[in-house]
Amino acid sequence: LDKADLVIVGAGFYGATIAERAANEHGLKVVIVERRGHIGGNAYSETDPDTGIEVHRYGPHIFHTPNDAVWSYLNRFTSFTDYTHRPFSVFRGQAYSLPINLATICQFFRRQLSPDEARALIAGQAAEMAGREPDNLEEKAISLIGRPLYEAFIRGYTKKQWQTDPRDLPASIISRLPVRYTFDNRYFSDPHQGMPLSGYTAIFDRMLDHENIHVLLDCDWFELRDSIPRAVPTVYTGPIDAYFGFSEGRLGWRTCDFSRSVVATGDYQGTAMMNYADEETAHTRIVEYRHFHPERDYPVDRSVIVHEYARSAGAGDEPYYPIDTLADKALYLRYRALADREPNVHFGGRLGTYRYLDMHQAIGAALKEWERLRTSEFAHGRKAP
């Protein structure tokens, strides 16, 4: 560690991108300290031992981006399949296409509607909120998509996700609800999307395959921090509140419980992701991993499915989605002010900046931060470019 030019806390996409750039572009000696027993952060994937099917341990990850620079950067380490995400949602025993599109609307209202007719129908239903400022999430959703679609697809699902009645949630949680007045049922409309051909973990293996990059697994940085010379710059991608010993309080997160099982069929649900909108069904969705890679030769008599359950995160849980209430925002700003005064430490990634980031955003932010670092203190410090 004392020979390192740069220490990176966390081997997720943010940390791995900075490490790769620092070693390949700048010849820096990089040490990555990772608390878990593997690289990849939350994008880590592994092979299920019973079926050989690739499973994403921390929830399903679908790569998509509008950003050409991020797409071409990542294509140095992997090629992508043409997987296009088309999830479904079950409401009262019926499966509907998501996000809400013309097929969903026609099926739900049991008639064929043109785009203009569907638009007029939904506008009419949303008009119950006309002239009133929405007071809570329920009213906001009704003002956007009308009551019938809200009650079917948003109310129960939101209640399960937040464990709170949508009438008690702030309207600010949603600014828009995507409704497509075409039969396009792709979940993401980004020009670049797909699944990494050899899986997510293989991307990290390639990014970190450099003689100057040393990864310490099963290693909590807090246990090492006092032994690292203070002159060595640190990129910290762990939780920002943990860095400061929760001195200002704990930031709120939601987490997920994943229950994995192997089922005795080659196809359990016919698609990768089935949401459950009913309040009475405890899980929020079932993911069947084989469908992310239809090109692979997976067994025809077994499949891996994962039930997901959402809840708010306690102290020992994995933080997944920032709750981001007004109190959280204020708390984060206090930590941000402390972080700005911390010499030689750069806070990044989803945990370090208390923001939900898609993978492409984490990589894009890391590439940008690397440009800044490269041209700032590194230029004057231990190693000039």
Please report, as ranges, the residues that interact with ligand FAD according to CB under 6 A. 9-15, 33-36, 41-43, 58-63, 220-222, 237-238, 256, 320, 349-351, 357-360, 362
DSSP3 helix / strand / coil % (the chain, rounded to 5): 35, 20, 45
Catalytic site residue from 34, 241, 308, 324:
308
The string of DSSP letters for 6-47 reads EEEE--SHHHHHHHHHHHHHH---EEEE-SSSSSSGGG-EEE
Catalytic site residue from 21, 36, 155, 285:
285
Task: Kindly state the smallest distance separating residue 149's Cβ from ligand FAD, in Å.
Answer: 24
Residue carrying the six token digits 């009419």: 124
| One-letter amino acid of 115 | P
- Determine whether 25 is an active site residue: no
- Determine whether 285 is an active site residue: yes
Task: Kindly state the smallest distance separating residue 350's Cβ from ligand FAD, in Å.
Answer: 4
Strands 45-47 and 285-288 come out as unpaired
Contact 221, 238 (CB under 8 A): yes
A 10 A CB-CB count for 93 gives 6
- Nearest CB to ligand FAD, comparing residues 36 and 346: 36
- Nearest CB to ligand FAD, comparing residues 42 and 143: 42
Q: What phi and psi, each to the nearest 5 degrees, are found at residue 367?
A: -65, -40
Task: Kindly state the smallest distance separating residue 147's Cβ from ligand FAD, in Å.
Answer: 29
Catalytic site residue from 317, 358, 374, 377:
358
- Nearest CB to ligand FAD, comparing residues 100 and 240: 240
Residue carrying the six token digits 């700032």: 376
Catalytic site residue from 180, 290, 302, 350:
180
Task: Kindly state the smallest distance separating residue 224's Cβ from ligand FAD, in Å.
Answer: 8
- Determine whether 254 is an active site residue: yes
- Determine whether 334 is an active site residue: no
- Nearest CB to ligand FAD, comparing residues 66 and 124: 66
Catalytic site residue from 92, 110, 176, 341:
176
- Determine whether 356 is an active site residue: yes
- Determine whether 355 is an active site residue: no
Contact 147, 125 (CB under 8 A): yes
The string of DSSP letters for 281-345 reads SS-SEEEEGGGG-TTS---SS-EEEEEEEEEE--TTSPP-EE---HHHHHHHHHHHHHHHTSTTE
- Nearest CB to ligand FAD, comparing residues 73 and 150: 73
Active site residues: 176, 180, 254, 285, 308, 356, 358
